[in-house]
A and B are shown apart, each in its own frame.
Chain A
Amino acid sequence: MRILEGKGVTKYFGGLAAISNVDFHVKKGEAFGLIGPNGAGKTTLFNVISASLTTTSGTIRFKGENITGLKPYKICRMGVARTFQTVKIFPDLPVISNVILGLHFGMSAKISSAEKTQKAAEYLEFVGLSKMIMAPAKDLTLANQKRLEVARALATKPELLMLDELMAGLTHTEVGEAMELVTRIRERGITIIMIEHVMTAIMSVCERIMVLHHGEKIAEGKPKEIATSKEVIEVYLGE
């Protein structure tokens, strides 16, 4: 079953096509990778799906429903959560309050505030932040701030989670931990779309990968096919 489907998705910034006429689909339960050189339009596509930006043309469907043109909070409440390339946490709020916000306003069922605190602590434990739940979020390391973003996104009870460069700027060990985290999120039945530059990570985690270049889709397929595709190698390494 296709959980997310885009048809002819196009986004212009002035005269520049950041993404042009991209068709894609994501199947329920899979991990879908999005790669491409800098400026290829990966984050723009994320922004268009999560409605940070409006599409110039094309339609996006989530679980068969047309979500093009909806407001970001609506899309979140329908079950699409995201993280950001440059982390966007609430710096002066305690770590746990960052997550509680997601429980208050996301898709989650109506539960008492005591249960919400309990739940938030569970999500923080899941991402490995249980030791620092009362610290102001700004005091966390970059890796931990990224984990906090994931916990906050999970708290909105998404069916589809979009991770924008979860591993960028992390150390080797932290990349390993992040990959393990992605696997555990998938075990919860959550579909994942991820943008990543760390190739080993994306190749081993994702079932399917789409390659963007200058806003156009140039390849799509299994990691093996992508790694051996002549066109992709040309884009990344030059001719």
Chain B
Amino acid sequence: MDIATLKTKQNLITGAILLILLILLATLPLYKPGYSVILLSSILMYVILTVSWVIFSGPTGYISLAPAAFFGVGIYASAIIGKAIPFPVVVLIGGVASFVLALLVGALTLRLRGIYFAVFTFGLVMLISNAMNYYEIHFTGTRGRFVMVIDYNTIYLYMLGIFVLLMIAATIIKRSKYGLALMSIGQEEEAAEHTGVNVVMVKVIIFAISAFFMGAAGSVMATKWTYIDPGIAFNPFYSFMPVLMAIFGGMGQLFGPVIGSAIFTYLEEFLITKFAELYMLIFGAILVVSILYLPDGLVGLIQKLWKRFSERKHANT
């Protein structure tokens, strides 16, 4: 058997496993409704935020702290137009609104590098949050809004759908020439530009695509909370978590952030329920240890162990 057929066979097997997993996940509400569906929805929320963050920030090394802004725009889109328009359209509009915002912000700020970019993107979260707050106090005279209620199973299925689309988009980007361009930008931006890469365009478009998924996720999750205000919608927490989860999972492979954020979210749930007092303390300790000792994240560790294991197997035979 030559390498090409071996590879297609491998791809088929991976594809089949993924399909079975997807079917299991999609039918979950039928055989395990209730808590597990709610938990998986919030896991999916963090997975989506983290993977979208990694699409752009992983290869380029531009640390964006704007996820909370894009997520929040989706949330507000849902709160403002949710009752008037069919839900799928609401989700689409939430995504598109974040996409457009990212295009504008990206065109302005992606000339900044390193810490300046991180600080600016974080400033964006604060700016939108406070502007919204000001608007609500001075013009509508209310604080916050009610969001239409949707049942947990529907929320879960929407999140799953966004997740699948996101993984497809992320894989396509990673394997395309734009994936290579993003990595070259992260490593030596000037050389990339002189090798024919329109760096500003590539950066802005991918930044906006990543924002699209954050916004879409936000407009779905808004319905779970039923009431939102600027403090909830633009919580800076949603900016930091994707970064931490991506580091925890490892950014070398796409499944790194998926596994990282899934475990992280579950861990958070577990710690909150079991050790409500010590939760933040344990959480912090785990983070410090993983940053110190797992430079390539959880996936890097697994790969290292796997390599050692397979070497030993070869040595025995």
Contacts and interface: CB of A to CB of B under 8 A. Distances in A.
Contacts of B183: 90, 92-93
A104 B193 contact: no
Closest 3 CB pairs of A and B: A105-B196, A88-B191, A104-B177
Nearest to B197: A105
B180 A156 contact: no
B118 to A, nearest CB: 21
A76 B180 contact: no
A82 interface: yes
Nearest to B191: A88
Contacts of A101: 177, 180-181, 184, 192, 195, 197
B284 to A, nearest CB: 30
Interface string B196-222: 111100000000000000000000000
A102 B183 CA distance: 13
19 contacts: A71-B198, A72-B193, A73-B193, A73-B198, A73-B199, A76-B196, A77-B196, A81-B194, A81-B195, A91-B187, A93-B187, A101-B184, A102-B196, A104-B196, A105-B196, A105-B198, A106-B195, A152-B195, A155-B195
Contact of B190 (A52, A107, A152, A155): A52
Interface in B167-188: 177, 180-181, 183-184, 187-188
Interface residues of B, number: 17
A104 B190 CA distance: 17
Nearest to B185: A90
B191 A84 contact: yes
Contacts of B188: 88-91
Given A102-B195, A152-B191, 19 more contacts: A73-B193, A73-B194, A73-B196, A73-B197, A76-B194, A81-B195, A82-B194, A90-B184, A90-B187, A93-B180, A100-B180, A101-B181, A101-B184, A101-B192, A101-B197, A104-B180, A105-B181, A105-B195, A105-B196
